[in-house]
Chain A
Amino acid sequence: MTGTYAHAPGFIVGDRPKIVTSRFEYEDSYTLTRYLATDGYQGLRAALSRPANEVHDEVRTATVLGRGGAGFPAGTKWGLTPQGVYPRYLVVNGDESEPGTYKDRLLMERDPHQLIEGCLIACYAAGLSQCFLYIRGEMALAQERVAVALNDAYAAGYIGKNILGTHFSVDIVLHWGAGAYVVGEETALIESLEGNRGMPRLKPPFFPAANGLYGQPTIVNNVETLANLPWLMCNGAEAYTAIGTKTSPGTRMVAVSGHVKRPGVYEIVNGVTTFRDLLYKDEFCGGIRNDNELKAFVPGGGSAPWFTPDQLDLPFEGSQVGAAGSMLGSGAIMVMDETTDIPAAALTLTRFYAHESCGKCTPCREGGTWLERILSRVVDGKGTSADLEQLIEVGTSICPGDFPHASNEKLGLTAVPFPYKMNTICFVGPSAYAPVNSALVLFREEFEARIVKRHTIPVTAVGAAL
Chain B
Amino acid sequence: MSRLSEGNIRLANEIIGRYPRPRSAMIPLLHLAQQQDGYLTNDAMVHIGELVGSTSAEVYGTASFYEMFKFEPVGKYLVNICGTLSCALMGSEELMHHAEHKLGVKMGGTTDDGLFTLEHAECQAACTEAPCLQVNYRYRFRVTAADFDSLIDDLSAGRLVDEIPAHGTVARVAQHIPRDRGVGAVPPESVTEAPVWLDGKAAL
Residues of A within 8 A of B (CB): 9-10, 45, 48-53, 84, 86-87, 96-102, 104-105, 124, 127-130, 136-141, 143-144, 147-148, 150-151, 154-155, 157, 159-161, 164, 166-171, 173-181, 192-199, 214-216, 255-259, 263-265, 298, 302, 332, 334-336, 340, 344-345, 348-349, 352, 355-356, 358, 461-463, 465
Q: A45 — which chain B residues lie within 8 A by C-beta? A: 204
Q: B200 — which chain A residues lie within 8 A by C-beta? A: 51, 53
* Interface residues of B, count at CB 8 A: 77
Q: Report 14 cross-chain contacts, Cβ distance below 8 Å, ordered by A residue.
A: A9-B126, A9-B141, A129-B183, A141-B139, A160-B177, A175-B28, A176-B27, A195-B25, A195-B54, A198-B66, A257-B130, A302-B85, A352-B123, A356-B122
A138-B124 contact given A173-B18, A197-B65, CB 8 Å threshold: yes
Q: A96 — which chain B residues lie within 8 A by C-beta? A: 125
* Nearest CB of chain A from residue B54's CB, rounded to whole Å: 7
A10-B126 contact given A100-B86, A463-B89, CB 8 Å threshold: yes
Q: Which residue of A lies closest to B97 (CB)?
A: A461
The answer for the CA separation of A28 and B145 in the assembled complex, in Å, is 32
CB–CB B65/A130 < 8 A:
no
Residues of B within 8 A of A (CB): 18-21, 23-28, 30-31, 52, 54, 61-63, 65-69, 80, 83-86, 88-91, 93-94, 122-130, 134, 136-139, 141, 170-178, 180-185, 188, 191-198, 200-204
A51-B25 contact given A105-B125, A138-B124, A167-B197, CB 8 Å threshold: no
CB–CB B193/A86 < 8 A:
yes
CB–CB B197/A168 < 8 A:
yes
CB–CB B192/A86 < 8 A:
yes
Which of B62, B127, B172, B180 has a CB less than 8 Å from the CB of A257? B127
* Nearest CB of chain A from residue B16's CB, rounded to whole Å: 11
Q: B85 — which chain A residues lie within 8 A by C-beta? A: 99-100, 258, 298, 302, 334, 345, 348-349, 352
Q: Which residue of B lies closest to A163 (CB)?
A: B203
The answer for the CA separation of A229 and B62 in the assembled complex, in Å, is 34
Which of A49, A147, A177, A264 has a CB less than 8 Å from the CB of B204? A49
CB–CB A334/B86 < 8 A:
yes
The answer for the CA separation of A195 and B23 in the assembled complex, in Å, is 5
Q: A105 — which chain B residues lie within 8 A by C-beta? A: 125-126
CB–CB B203/A168 < 8 A:
yes
Looking at chain B's contact residues, the main secondary structure is loop
The answer for the CA separation of A330 and B92 in the assembled complex, in Å, is 23
Q: Which residue of A lies closest to B138 (CB)?
A: A140
Q: Which residue of B lies closest to A466 (CB)?
A: B91
A258-B125 contact given A52-B197, A154-B181, A155-B181, CB 8 Å threshold: no
* Nearest CB of chain A from residue B28's CB, rounded to whole Å: 7
Q: A180 — which chain B residues lie within 8 A by C-beta? A: 65-67
Which of B68, B175, B188 has a CB less than 8 Å from the CB of A137? B68
Central interface residue in B172, B185, B196, B202, by most chain A CB within 10 Å: B202
* Nearest CB of chain B from residue A367's CB, rounded to whole Å: 19
A137-B191 contact given A168-B203, A465-B91, CB 8 Å threshold: no
Q: B192 — which chain A residues lie within 8 A by C-beta? A: 86
Known: A86-B192, A194-B24, A196-B62. 5 other contacts (CB 8 A): A166-B203, A171-B183, A199-B65, A216-B188, A263-B127
A51-B201 contact given A154-B182, A178-B67, A214-B21, CB 8 Å threshold: yes
